[in-house]
Amino acid sequence: MGTLRCPDGADTGDSCLSDKQIEADRLVHRPYRYPFAMKNGVAASPGWTYGSEVQPGGMVDTITGKEKPQFPIANEKVQSVAWVNADGFVRYFFARDPKLDPFQFSAEKFAGRIKEISEMFDTTDPDLSAFQARGGKLILKGNGADYQRSVLQEIDYYKSVVARMGQDRADQFVRFYVTPGVNHPGNGVMADGKAVPAKVDLLGVLDAWVDNGKTPDTLTQVSQQEQAPFKTIASRPMCRYPLSPRYDGDGDPSEAGSFTCAKQ
């Protein structure tokens, strides 16, 4: 980051980054520490990942917005998804006052209500013993370019389950996958403008695991034509975390067989 800094940290154009721009980048990528613990002792929300900021629904659309936050919001199209969502959530869920100016919101002032909402909303309990005892199977999937929620939240939760229950036990009933380069609804664009292979029938995989004992491992994600007969255009491995698909450098990049699941 320092090598991109403008002389003296001043904003001199698009060829370098000012000190304010560098701080803004660091702000959205570092964890946010809550002023008090949420349900199950969760004390922070992780920052956003690097590398997919310009994907559809990326950093500008979802986090920063095209214009600075407004209240009242005059035009949602220039506001970030995060601000639009937070504006309503703060006023109607936390403060329960539609006239509240969200710029004046204080988490400490509404600590009791925030904790109450956390108890109702947050699915962060790492102890899945009761679920496992009933024969439950769980498939978790995170999207690497999701800026409506950071994939690091899914990663942190999965790690908490493993820490609580042990890797061997977790492997008996939990599978966790991360799809690089796709956003909240699972869409992404490769360098050539084509869709990132990201579609997979997880319900079918789950049914086969529960009903037939077919334990899932590496899966295959595809991109398809948008109209019938929905022909597959490209495919890619869907790797179990912490592995990611790595191109072998030689094969057809539109074929899953040209990738291996490897640690980053």
Sign of CA dihedral 21, 147, 107, 160: negative
> Which residues are bridge partners to 140 per DSSP?
176
pTM for the model stands at 0.92
Domain closes at, from 80, 96, 121? 121
Q: Which of 35-49, 91-105, 153-167, 184-198 has the weakest average pLDDT?
A: 184-198
The pLDDT value recorded for residue 207 is 97
- Contact in structure between 151 and 178 (CB atoms under 8 Å): yes
By the 10 Å C-beta count (0-12 exposed, 13-18 middle, 19+ buried), 140 is classed as: middle
The tokens describing 139, both together, are 């498939």
107-127: b (≥16 Cβ within 10 Å) or e: eeebeeebeebbeeeeebebe
Residue 5 lies inside a defined structural domain of this protein: no
183 in the same domain as 96: no
The pLDDT value recorded for residue 2 is 62
Domain closes at, from 100, 121, 142? 121
Domain closes at, from 92, 121, 150? 121
pLDDT at residue 242 greater than cutoff 70: yes
224 in the same domain as 133: yes
> Which residues are bridge partners to 234 per DSSP?
223
AA letter at 52:
S
What pLDDT digit, counting tens, does each position of 29-82 carry? 999 999 999 999 999 999 999 989 989 999 999 999 999 999 999 999 999 999
Grade residue 3 by pLDDT with cuts at 50, 70 and 90.
Answer: confident
